[in-house]
Amino acid sequence: RWFTHFYVVSVLWNGFLLIWLFRAEFLGEPLPSWIQHMHHALGRHSQSGDMADSEHFSALLVLLLLWLHSCRRLAECLWTSVFSNGVIHIVQYCFGLGYYIAIGSTVLCQVPTNVRNGKELSVQICWYHIVGVMMYIWASLHQHRCLEILASLRKSKSGKVVSLSHSVPFGDWFERVSCPHYFAELLIYISMAIMLGFQNVTWWCVVMYVLFNQALAAALCHEFYQKNFSSYPKHRKAFIPHIF
């Protein structure tokens, strides 16, 4: 249940960055000096050349959808999910807090510190923006549905929590993998890589981190299901349908 703290931090921090980027892109205001210092520390300099309007819009779109993703996950933690009495390691907890601060900063650092030298952004929607947004919505809907299925295992038909024990989930993507909500998380980050035009190496590194992180968690969860439920469906994979 302390994962809720991650999304509180993400909503506040990434919302703050989103406001500043919006003001810089659409109103021509300069980014605060401390953000410019952060840019330099992370290797992004104002002399990195002019970016196309579509690239500026890509960064703004990704930061917006990252913030909306955090808002949805926070709402699910507060009002959908039913958590057990499990605990999180303090190192993992601290790393999680740092991750959600770093991820928004990573997006912001995809644009130069001088942000078009004060010029307003001319929005240019490209085909990969549309494809990325459609994939983002599709994966988000399935992730929400899978989290609702997990929560329903611990609730009565009236919505009252009746158990904190683990049960075997069925329905939606659970018919194919043990952890479809982890798979959907990966798809959400891939959709953002698409929105950035496929060629942003920094964000593909983020995608690879999410891939290995979620794959490990899914493998451990899959092993738990197989160990504790003798009738667990043998055709289910752990993470990616038909593959892993």
| Domain positions in the chain | 1-124, 127-243
186-238, pLDDT tens digit by residue? 999 999 999 999 989 999 999 999 999 999 999 999 999 999 999 999 999 99
More confident residue, 16 or 55: 16
Question: Residue 26: what pLDDT?
Answer: 80
pTM (predicted TM-score): 0.92
Q: How far apart are CA 180 and CA 143, in angstroms?
A: 7
Average pLDDT, the chain: 89
- pLDDT for position 118: 47
CA-nearest of 32, 16, 214 to 107 is: 16
Helix (H) or strand (E) holding 243: none
With the C-alpha atoms ordered 134, 236, 4, 74, is the resulting torsion angle positive or negative?
positive
User: How far from 169 is each of 30, 151, 154, 163, CA to CA, in Å?
Assistant: 50, 10, 11, 14
Whether 123 shows a pLDDT value over 80: the answer reads no
Query: Is the CB of residue 9 less than 8 Å from the CB of residue 67?
Result: no
Which stretch of 18-22, 24-28, 137-141, 202-206 has the lowest confidence by average pLDDT?
Answer: 24-28
Q: In angstroms, what CA-CA distances link 156 with 145, 147, 173, 175?
A: 17, 16, 22, 22
pLDDT at 33: 80
Euclidean distance between CA atoms 200 and 58, whole angstroms: 11
Residue 48's pLDDT is: 47
SS3 of 120-144: CCCCCCCHHHHHHHHHHHHHHHHHH
pLDDT on residue 176: 96
Classified as helix, coil or strand, 161 is strand
In this predicted structure, the answer to whether residue 47 has a pLDDT above a threshold of 50 is no
Query: Residue 65 carries which DSSP code?
Result: H
